[in-house]
Structure 1
Amino acid sequence: MIVYVLYGGQSPEHEVSLKTAATVLKALNTQKHEVYPIYISREGLWTGLGRMPEDGLNAENLMPVSRHADAASSLGEVLKAEFSLPGEKVALPLLHGANGEDGTVQGLLELLGIPYVGNGVLSAAMTLDKDVTHRLAGLAGIRQTAYEIVTRREWEEDQAGVLSRLKKRGLLPGYVKPATLGSSIGISRCEDEAALEAGIEEALRHDVKLVIEREVPGREIQVAVMGNDRPQASLPGEFLHGVKFFDFRAKYADPTLRMSIPAEIPPAAAEEIRESAIRAYEALCCSGLARVDFFLGEDGRVYLNEINALPGFTGTSMYPVMWERTDGTTYAALIEKLMDYALERGRTRASVGGAR
């Protein structure tokens, strides 16, 4: 089978995508599959690296320089040289954030008729948008912390009014988040009005819509979900760290970071988290995979934090380890399972004329 691995991208999470791709490419069975890495630069230029040799790629070869000056011509070459190859195909879009995780690349793959790992166009767009996630999870009756939405237009027209509204809602201490970014990029923890104002200004550098959430004192618990029509949830896991705000550096550069899988929480809380994860997965029409994050509050209640429809697959990522601790699935076997789900979803859609 031909396996296309798409990575890089124009999102601020470009570096995270590179880390994920390096790990996935190393794990893919090149004797079983023909692997074609496809790099998308920060400028949106596409470059096919050709068929990956059986001994893999060096890290320095993952970022080739495109010979094209624009995205259209670079994509055209990849369409002709890589995507037009005959045979059974599947794509691994390892692109985090906008222009990759938001349904855009998924739409291209739909047009090409290539099955792909992960969510479809609609669910990819919904899960990346924290505002939409909150709305749909609320309709599904899943408990969440208090939150407000702030747009760039609102902030530019009435900063004082926005700050007053957020304070009246009791959102301090709280978090300011760009609506469509992950990996804690652009997120600020705010304890007072001055920090809140600075956090909004920082987040607006990354997005035109923000989500401001009240802090939930307690612990952050994650669970991995996998499957199409019958999703399953892993044992819950927890990152052990010594910081109040689990930011980008803490996630990817803290040498003291440790995983606790299964998380040491009461059995009733663990079961509620697993059940709520599947409910959230289904409410957002997810397929393939997602990591669902919760807060276990000091009050003993479980609150949904967010859904990450394309969780990291780096050496320090929680998602693959949770499955290994749950049922013994190795990293390489997990990739194979996810590709099988992609092919299953592709066959199902083809049987009904591709209806979403």
Structure 2
Amino acid sequence: MRVAVIHGGTSSEHDVSVASGEGVMDGLSRAGHEVVPVLVDRAGEWRTPAGAGRLVAVDTLLGCDVAVPALHGVFGEDGTVQGFLEVLGVPHVGSPVAASAACLDKQLTKLVAGSAGIPVAPGQLVVAHRALAATRSAVELDQLAADLVASGLAGPVFVKPVHGGSSIGVTRLPVLAPRELGAALVTALAAGGDSVLVEAEVSGPEVDVPVLELPDGEVRCGPSLLIRSDPDEPFFTETAKYESAATRFAVPAPLAPELTAHLERLAVAAYGALGCRGLARVDFLVGVDGPVLNEVNTFPGFTPASQFPRMWAAAGVAYPDLVDLLVRTAAESSVATPAGVHR
């Protein structure tokens, strides 16, 4: 097939997306597909082999059988590009508009998953205008801190952008105090977010479960992955994820079979409740009371060394075969689903 790989983007995860896109393009080429690179630069300019600009990009995309939106963060993984492709009628890898938007929004993910009976951590949304006000007024900040503590979020807590990934803009606060909260809000907002989520820490290991939809519609889980983050980092930070040699991954995760099966059931339930399609990496924190959903990534990092491909490699699925499955599933889904109708 002729496959467009859209990568880059305007979010804070631009560099991660470029690396993912390059990996996907190489894998698709090795699987025998014709690859068409479509780069969205930091300024939002679309660049294709035929030239630059949105109209040129539209012509390029219309000439492809499938598109891979290998984008992370806002204006890419949040349903915007997925909607653009669906309007054009170009089949694409991954989740449709609503699922993409819900999964990139940490608060919406919690609400949908929680309503489906999937455990989530206690948390409070701080809407954009209040978050901004609290960074500018000591009175507003004191009141916000008091309200959060009264809701049970005394600490430890994580302060994170509602939209975003790669742990960019995330701060861990051992105790929720006004001064530290104010600095954490500034960090979260500077990462390109608007509203901010303050969430209770779940003490325990992070275990990720890869979910893959096959061309025939079967949804399958691969081997889970246990993260042993760099002990010198306060949590699984951006540095621990992408730069530290001290971070270790164990695949498959060394867990009791009953816990592994439970995590897989929860992962598939979250995938279905949120309306995901194609693939997802469903991340859990395993606390003393059991697993708690951390987040759902509709297009996780996708270099050959990234967690999702690494988990499937442990199941015997080589990287070129994995990206080939993704585009074939997208193509089959477009045949099975009439134009304008979303599953």
Do these two structures clear the TM 0.5 threshold for a shared fold by scoring above it?
A: yes
Amino acid aligned to 2:72? H
1:128 aligned partner:
104
2:292 pairs with 1:303: yes
Partner-residue secondary structure (3-state), 1:133: helix
The within-5 A match list for 1:24-103 is: 24-29=24-29, 32-49=32-49, 74-80=53-59, 82-85=60-63, 89-103=65-79
1:170 aligned partner:
152
For the Cα contact (< 8 Å) 1:8–1:42, is it kept in 2?
yes
Amino acid aligned to 1:321? R
1:332 aligned partner:
320
2:212 pairs with 1:226: yes
Quick one: which of 267, 289, 296 aligns to 1:277? 267
How many residues are treated as equivalent by the alignment?
329
Amino acid aligned to 1:77? V
C-alpha separation in 2, matches of 1:119 and 1:9: 18
For the Cα contact (< 8 Å) 1:183–1:248, is it kept in 2?
yes
Q: Which runs of 4+ in 1 moved over 3 A?
A: none
In structure 2, relative to structure 1, the CA distance for the partners of 1:308 and 1:314 (3 Å cut) is same
Amino acid aligned to 1:132? L
In structure 2, runs of 5+ residues without a counterpart are: 135-139
Quick one: which of 261, 266, 270 aligns to 2:251? 261
Taking CA–CA contacts closer than 8 Å with sequence separation of 6 or more, which of the two structures ends up with the larger relative contact order?
Answer: 2
State the superposition RMSD in angstroms: 1.7
TM-score by length of 2: 0.91
Task: Give a deviation string over 1:260-310, Cα, whole Å, max 9, x none.
Answer: 01111222211111110000111100000000000111x151111110111
TM-score by length of 1: 0.88
Amino acid aligned to 2:49? L
2:167 aligned partner:
184
In structure 2, relative to structure 1, the CA distance for the partners of 1:300 and 1:325 (3 Å cut) is farther
In structure 1, runs of 5+ residues without a counterpart are: 51-65, 69-73
Stretch of structure 1 that moved more, 136-145 or 192-201: 192-201
Partner-residue secondary structure (3-state), 1:329: coil
Shift of residue 323, structure 1, vs aligned partner:
1.2
2:341 aligned partner:
354
Partner-residue secondary structure (3-state), 1:189: strand
Task: Give a deviation string over 1:223-253, Cα, whole Å, max 9, x none.
Answer: 1001175321112111223233111111011
Stretch of structure 1 that moved more, 128-137 or 187-196: 187-196
Partner-residue secondary structure (3-state), 2:147: helix
For the Cα contact (< 8 Å) 1:163–1:197, is it kept in 2?
no
C-alpha separation in 1, matches of 2:342 and 2:268: 23
Stretch of structure 1 that moved more, 32-41 or 276-285: 32-41
Task: Give a deviation string over 1:72-114, Cα, whole Å, max 9, x none.
Answer: xx1112223x2243xx600011110111101111111111111
For the Cα contact (< 8 Å) 2:205–2:227, is it kept in 1?
no
Task: Give a deviation string over 1:100-131, Cα, whole Å, max 9, x none.
Answer: 10111111111111101000011111111001
In structure 2, relative to structure 1, the CA distance for the partners of 1:199 and 1:231 (3 Å cut) is same
For the Cα contact (< 8 Å) 2:31–2:324, is it kept in 1?
no
For the Cα contact (< 8 Å) 2:2–2:35, is it kept in 1?
yes
Shift of residue 167, structure 1, vs aligned partner:
1.4
Task: Give a deviation string over 1:163-190, Cα, whole Å, max 9, x none.
Answer: 1121123321010110110000111111
2:194 pairs with 1:208: yes
2:137 aligned partner:
none
2:323 pairs with 1:344: no
Shift of residue 355, structure 1, vs aligned partner:
4.3
2:143 aligned partner:
161
1:57 aligned partner:
none
Amino acid aligned to 2:181? L
C-alpha separation in 2, matches of 1:34 and 1:145: 44
